Amino acid sequence: MGRKNFNSFLKKQKAEQKRKKKAEKMQKKEDRKDQAPADLDDMIAYVDEFGNITSEPPEDADEVSKEDFREEDQDDKD
């Protein structure tokens, strides 16, 4: 008879552990859901002329237009 009670005790214990684990998982899910998504500006990285990754945009970016490329291509063809 003692064996029968022991089995039911184990079943209850496993069910309790399963219930706790499920509750913890739901809590973690809610915590992730409540966290605000990261701002796009925080996720953008810039590469400077030396190849270093920085979080600040370049101060003096040379604007190169399509016309400048066309002029260079025509000069190379001549």
pLDDT score recorded for residue 22: 98
Estimate to the nearest angstrom the gap between the alpha carbon of 28 and the chain centroid: 16
Domain borders along the chain are: 2-59
pLDDT in tens, 24-45: 999 999 998 888 777 777 788 8
Return d(Cα 22, Cα 20) in angstroms, integer: 5
The model's pTM is 0.43
Average pLDDT over residues 46-62: 81
